[in-house]
């Protein structure tokens, strides 16, 4: 009796395997079209590559802005911690925040100017 059940199950598994191997040919799935660069595809392959390079440079500029923001945040947090340890004063924190905000504005301005030059 137990042999008969295993034999039926193995036949069922074989038929399911055959069906699952046959189904992908019927699926008719299509890949999505690739997205064009932000400046358009261009008239040739070189211009398209340049446009993708522009998008890469924009990403690099964004990463630079993020790194500057994280650096300013880290320094401000360290100054705040030093205030509670008694090593620095609140004026040090205010000066650090003011310089950090100025630095962030300068970096964002320079990165924006650099991307318009490209």
Q: Is the predicted pLDDT of residue 7 greater than 80, yes or no?
A: no
**Does residue 84 sit in helix, strand or coil?**
helix
The pLDDT mean for the chain works out to 83
Distance in angstroms (rounded) separating the CA atoms of residues 76 and 62 = 21
pLDDT at residue 4 in the model: 57
Could you give the percent of the chain with pLDDT greater than 90? 30
pLDDT at residue 74 in the model: 94
pLDDT at residue 67 in the model: 92
Nearest CA to 69 among 94, 113, 92, 101? 101
115, 61 Cβ separation under 8 angstroms: yes
51, 34 Cβ separation under 8 angstroms: no
76, 97 Cβ separation under 8 angstroms: yes
pLDDT at residue 18 in the model: 77
**Does residue 79 sit in helix, strand or coil?**
helix
Q: Which residues are CB-neighbours of 93 under 8 A, at least 6 positions away?
A: 76, 79, 80, 83
18-64 per-position pLDDT tens digit: 777 776 666 666 777 877 787 777 788 888 888 888 888 888 988 98
- Report the helix count and the strand count for the chain, using DSSP H and E: 3, 0
In this prediction the pTM is 0.60
């Amino acid at each position: 009796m137990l042999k008969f059940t295993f034999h039926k199950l193995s036949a069922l598994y074989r038929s399911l395997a055959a069906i699952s191997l046959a189904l992908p040919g019927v699926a008719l799935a299509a890949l999505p079209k690739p997205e064009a660069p932000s400046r358009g595809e261009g008239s040739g392959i070189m211009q398209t590559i340049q446009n993708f390079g522009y998008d890469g440079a924009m990403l690099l500029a964004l990463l630079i802005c993020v790194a500057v923001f994280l650096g300013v945040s880290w320094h401000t947090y360290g100054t705040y911690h030093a205030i509670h340890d008694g090593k620095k004063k609140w004026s040090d924190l205010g000066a650090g925040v003011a310089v950090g905000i100025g630095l962030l504005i300068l970096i964002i301005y320079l990165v924006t100017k650099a991307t318009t030059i490209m």
